[in-house]
Structure 1
C-alpha cells in the first residue's frame, strides 16, 4: 500500500511540476529565459545551443506541417497502407530537409561573420518608478 501511495504522490508531483514548467515556458519570452540562464552563470555554449534548438524546433514543426498538408491533399492518408507509406516518406523527407536547413543556417551564420558567439538580446531591468 505504501508503494502505491508513493507512486500516486510522485505522479501528481511530477504533473504539477510539468504544469508549472509549461506555464513558465509559454508566458516568458525566450530572450528573458536565456538572459536568466546567463545571469545564473550557465555556460555560453549551452545558451547558444538552446537558442539554436529553439529556432530549429519551430522551423522543423513548420516543415512537418507543410509536408503533412501536402500529403493530405494528395490523399496520402486514405488507407492503412498509404498512411504508413506517407508517414515513412514524411520521416525520411523531414530528415533530409533538416539537414538542408542546418547547412543553410551554417552558411548564413558564416556570411554574417559568426565567430563562435551569437549576440543575444538583453532585456532592460524593469524599474518601479
Structure 2
C-alpha cells in the first residue's frame, strides 16, 4: 500500500504533506533525495537490462546471471558517479539543507475580485481624464521608430 502511494504521488505533494504533519526537515529532504535518485538508478538498471537482452544476454542460465551481475555492477558504478556529480551540483547551487518546494497560492476570493474591478475603473477614469494631456504616441514614437 505504501509503495503504491509513494509511486503514484508527486514528490512535491508528498514533501508538503510531510511538512504539514511536522516531520523533521532532515527526514523530508532525505525522502526527496532518495525518491529522486531511486528512480534514476532504476531507469539506468532497466536500460542496462534491455541492452543485455539486445545482445542475447539471457541465452542460458549462466549467461543470464552474468548479464544481471553486469547490470548491477554498472548501476553501482553509475550511482557512485551520480553521487559525485550531485554533490558538486548541490555545492554549486549553494544547497543549505533544504529544497524549496512550490506551494500553491491562496485562492482568490471576493477581495481580489473587488480590488481588480476598482483598479480597472480607476485606470479607465485616469485614462479618460488625461486624454488631452498625455499622448502616448509622442512618448513611445522615438523608441518604436514611428
**TM-score grouping bracket, smaller chain normalisation:** 0.7 to 0.9
| Larger radius of gyration between Structure 1 and Structure 2 | 2
Structure 1 residues 127 and 32: CA distance shift in structure 2, 3 A: farther
Q: Does residue 81 of structure 2 align to residue 92 of structure 1?
A: no
Q: How does 1:46-125 map to 2 (within 5 A)?
A: 46-124=27-105
Shift of 1:113: 1.1
Q: 1:26 to 1:54 in 2, by over 3 A?
A: closer
Q: Which residue of 2 aligns with 1:32?
A: 13
Alignment partner of 1:41: what SS?
A: coil
Residue 29 (structure 1) shift? 2.5
> Gaps (5+ residues) in structure 2?
111-146
Question: Unaligned 5+ residue runs, structure 1?
Answer: 1-17
Matched, 1:43 2:19: no
Give SS of 1:98's match: helix
Partners of 2:41 and 2:106 lie apart in 1 by: 33
* Equivalent residues of 2:57, 2:67 under 8 A apart: yes
Contact 2:29 2:97 in 1 (8 A): no
2 CA distance for matches of 1:31 and 1:86? Answer: 36
Higher relative contact order (CA 8 A, sep 6+): 1
TM-score (norm 1): 0.74
